[in-house]
Structure 1
Amino acid sequence: MPPRSLPPSVRALGVTAVLGPTNTGKTHLAIERMVAHPTGMIGLPLRLLAREVYQRVVEKAGVEAVALVTGEEKIKPARPRFWVCTVEAMPRDLAVDFVAIDEIQLAADLDRGHVFTDRLLNRRGRAETMLIGAGTMKPVIEQLIPGVHVVTRPRLSQLLFAGDRKITRLPPRSAIVAFSVEEVYAIAELIRRQKGGAAVVLGALSPRTRNAQVEIYQSGDVDYLVATDAIGMGLNLDVDHIAFAADKKYDGHQFRKLNPAEFGQIAGRAGRHLRDGTFGTSGRSPPFESDLVEAIENHRFEPVRQLQWRNTDLDFRSVAQLLDSLNTQPTEQGLTRALIAEDMTTLEILARDPEIRALAQGRPAVERLWEVCGLPDYRKIAPQQHADLATTLYLRLMRHGRLDIDWYRSQLAALDRTDGEIDTLSARISQVRTWTFVANRPDWLPDPEHWQGVARLVEDKLSDALHERLASRFVDRRTSVLMRRLRENAMLEAEVTTTGDVLVEGQHVGMLQGFRFTADPKAGGPEAKALNMAAMKALASEIEARAARVVLAGDDAFVLSHDGLLRWIGEPVARLVAGEKAIEPRLRLLVEEHLAGQAREQVEARLQLWLRNHVTRLLGALQLLEEATTLTGIARGIAYQAAESLGVLERAKVAEEMKALDQEGRAALRLLGIRFGAFHLYVPSLLKPAPRALAAQLWALKHGGPELSGLDDIAHLAASGRTSFPVDKAVPKGLYRAAGYRVCGERAVRVDILERLADLIRPAIAYRPGLTQGTPPTGAADQDGFVVSGAMTSLVGCAGEDFASILRSLGYVSVKRPGPAIT
């Protein structure tokens, strides 16, 4: 297959880069240029924006002439002339006269940048290609596309800084920008109470919901719009003022402050065409520095130096060769290897599955595997969970050629319901998007166009329901700022911020952590009782809303810390307590009285499910040992003891049983993962840091609780991969064993390392000069002795007296004698 990549020498043919700040008419110019050609295609960064541009092109060329192609939606007339696509969904095998790529500065984005880089370097129109984006791209575009024609366009209106204002004092026709769903909802609720209502725009909204929300803003039904940075990508709204309610966002890898160019991209949405706009700060955002204000007002930002790149000339001869080709490094200046993306992570997981490897033989099978790995994780779940869905799809496709329509129908039917609140509906729409994507693959389903229509109907129904919930002004449905008014001489307002601060009339009265309220001792005075009453009223609906979010949360939202607390997005919601068996712990909810009845039961069920899955994922081998019905007699007894010992059983404790254990029993135990060492019976797969840390925690629960001395230190040392470390005499030996270590003199030695040490000593002792054939092993000596070697001390990570104490604990006696080891 010929390479798709263009050499630098031909990249500039027919290419014009139109660069400049927002509100320069770049996208409008691209649309005008496209419709002037017989055929054309434009790639856009967002599905929402693609929908908007599609409508504009339809108005100019007619519905029969325009196709819309996104990952989840296809509108394809019989003979389209123009194609409006998301950048990822741009057809690769379609030759057209005109091609435009919008928002090319996203080529520097860590997640999606490599796709934009590929399109701007390699996707060309027969007659004309237009690259549209920020002026910061000029140096790197000129470097990577030698000879490119660059046109810069000035902003059509002025953009001015308006300073800091409270959210409740922002002028009409303002858009308030936050960077999380929770913050958006909190601000929208605050504006609803003070100003009568706000529209909400999130990148995750379906086009139908987003359009309905925008309509209530554009029509003047509400004067305020609360949005994420999705509005920074070309959505054209009648906004006079942009207010930043925060200056940090989570970019998929870390929480970080926006860079000046990102601030400029969003602020530029104020003041469209010839109408000037303003921007400023509000809410929790700190005031802007003067340098940042000047950069935004004058559109002067640091140029982009490097673009994210991933090889697109893929080798589909085998899975291994596909992975190798994906790992190819760029050879041109200005390009950097992109981080491992979602599709590649899925591929790496699937490549470890023996069943997948057996089926993925030959180019067509490997191409299909890569196609399946491209399924986006709309649900934002753990990589392994997403890979499980991809595995199911691939196996069904490879075994049957296409997906079974009854199975596909059942997946959609389970989501075809409009009950539930905003978070529930949003989660349901995310799942429907997955099945919409599946329906839009050309050969995954019989009659794909029919199923695309079915999936779209379900999404539209859910989208309408979500719009209704959003338009109801967030009454008792928000997950942040929730106020209740008391009428005692004055109107008192209470709110719970997104950080858990409980405020009444702006006064801090306590904190809500998880489901527990802790009063602030500094809050007091004559009004303290009224303030606390207002706070508690606010907490009732907030706790209920949090419960709903916990029930819907993915597994990655929960973390079990060493102190025994189960945290949901950092907030403690339950404490680990001992069960009847060490590997069957339970959870005790940390809740206020406001969480009761069905909501409490649902939260408890969700957390218990997570805990069971967590224990099974890390210590499932112990459950197999305990439930091994195929074992009988001595073998079953040993397996049960190994499980009770959390996967590390001292051999001396079962010495008599081991003597009587036959070969058949040994083989059966080996099949269950047990390894027979000189000092221990253990399960090697459970010696990784995460299983051992959990095992130590469960042991501590049964022998003193999470406050047991040394638990944190031992868990940290075990996670560091240390083969041995000094012993703390105050820490019980059982805790060391549960963490995968054995106390040997002054050191705690990891049990598998101890067995490897025994493997080095054993041949050295067995060697007999003149009788044993071959070269003497390292450390060999006369009679029944051995000499300590560098390999032994290096393996254990200590020497001298510490190493000697390990040997003494194992029963060896140190003897010094003159002369060579072997005489």
Structure 2
Amino acid sequence: GVEFVSRPRFSSLTHTGPRKLARLPPRSVVVAFSAAEVYAMAEFVRRSRGGAAVVLGALSPRTRNAQVGMYQAGEVDYIVATDAIGMGLNMDVDHVAFAALRKFDGRAPRPLEPAELAQIAGRAGRHMNDGSFGTTADAGTIPADVVEAVENHRFPPLKALSWRNSQLRFTSVAALLASLDRPPEQAGLIRARDADDHLALAALAAAPEIARLASHPQRVKLLWEVCQIPDFRKVLDESHTRLLGRVFKHLAAPAGRLPTDWLAENVGRIDRVDGELDTIVARIANIRTWTYVAHRADWVADPDHWQGVTRAIEDRLSDALHDRLTNRFVDKRTAVLVRRLRDGGEMAAVVTGEGEVLVEGQYVGRLAGFAFLPDRTETAGAAKTVLAAALRALKTEISSRLDRLIADGDDAFTLAPDGIFWRGEAVAILAATTDSLRPGVEPPDSGLLEPPARDRLRRRLTEAAHALIGRDLAPLVRLREGGLSGAARGLAHQLVEALGSLPRQLARQQVEALSPADRTALARLGVRFGTESVFLPALLKPATQSLRALLWSTRQGCPTATPPGPKAAVMVDPALPAGFHDAVGYRVAGGVAVRVDILERFAAEARSLAKPGPFIPSRLLLSLLGLGPAATAAVLTGLGYEPDPEGRFRPIRRPKPRPRPIRANPDSPFAVLKRL
């Protein structure tokens, strides 16, 4: 008789409707119905949630168990699987999401039956823990009547069972095929679909050589046993049928066993772990077929040896496949961080001497000052996870780092084109204010600093920046605070705003208004009056030029360019913003930027040479610039000299403007008197 065993479910199974794949809860299984769909879903989960275990019917038991073990151990929170998940696997699953509601059953695509849905959805929940099921957003919705059937486990009774005749006749191949085709005689049974062994037998029976060898009952039975060698690839193509034919021919030979050399050749071809996923899956399927053969002690010599060989190869391939699946579909770093973020506890963070940040042992980026520079990630989802983990884990380190910075002296800070540095690390950028010598400071808005801490950092960095500027531009500070008045004070203001040097023409009115006492006071403060410029020579050193460039660029809101440094003159780079050279102590004449003190010497030499008349540029003029005759000629032209056909220079004589005649107003009183 037939005995039915009932296993009641102790927990409830609830339908939750469709959800986006990225919003599935942890401990979920996503079910698809082809390897391609499984791979695509697993790739998406890796990018958005850190990774997923993969379960396919084509996996070997060792690979499948390793993938499930990874999930059970909490290394990943998701599984993407085919409907193979519905049988033989016990896992802690809270939710099952169907990525499709149709499957290909070997003949044609069809909707899933309610009982099939229930079998798979039943993976959710264990013992007394409730579970849920639904679909992914693209899969549509499960009909309400099907939901009700699955939740309450109520399905229509089976009307028939599949049956295949077990009373086989081996008198001939034709008799065997006929017995397999025999329909059931009992009501409630229907003849099962032709199985792979039946199809293989029919294909081999059509081969004349096979038919000739299967000439008596023992050979027919042997042929049937050979046809039962499984094709673990589940495709039953001609290659498998040809293999079965060769096996049968060898076994039908006088030796009655498979040749050892032939067996070794076929097994050895499979013993490779290179290749892509599908290649390794195919090799595992092939070696499992040979493992089946090796367990037929009457077919092979030394079956124990061959069982060990095939099992070892299958294990190597299975381990390689597990590694490939893990490397492709698991971002271990993101998975670890997502899990720890979800747990809500403290996260262990380590900042190495090189600034590398390790959270829970995973490298997530670098800490540069008070800015976190996350490691490059493939997706926005992974980037958010890395940033969230770093922000939580670095709170203690940031607080300690801020305390150390505030306690440090001004000598721990430096100003550079990239902003203000603390012990070699950029911690802020300068910001423009109305005062050229007292710029603002903006710490990075990285999310690591709460507003009060950010304000503390800004105040300390502002103090340090102003102290460094006051030290390195001390002549300007003294000039501004020198107690000057009148025209001297106005000129001092212009020099401070210009960061230490002015074209004489721009300061002409203030210079002409200076009294002898004003000139003396300004000279004591380091101001030099040249024919071309008014400047402070102490601010022309390369280090001071760099600071002037930084302050000017901050005020202009443009990137900080590199000043000429120790060079007396350079050709003007048209890419540099206008006014840059003036700000760092150079004057542009004829497309050449000349340091203002050198330009004074150059202009004085030119005037001396021009007194007797037209002149050829002297060696001194050439050496002052160090750029060659063409640049020297260009500067002379910029200073108001012109060359004659012989290459001699003389000052350009500009004609004095003629006074414009004043036309008398005919209606004026004087015009009226004249007419009288």
TM-score by length of structure 1 reads: 0.40
Structure index of larger Rg: 2
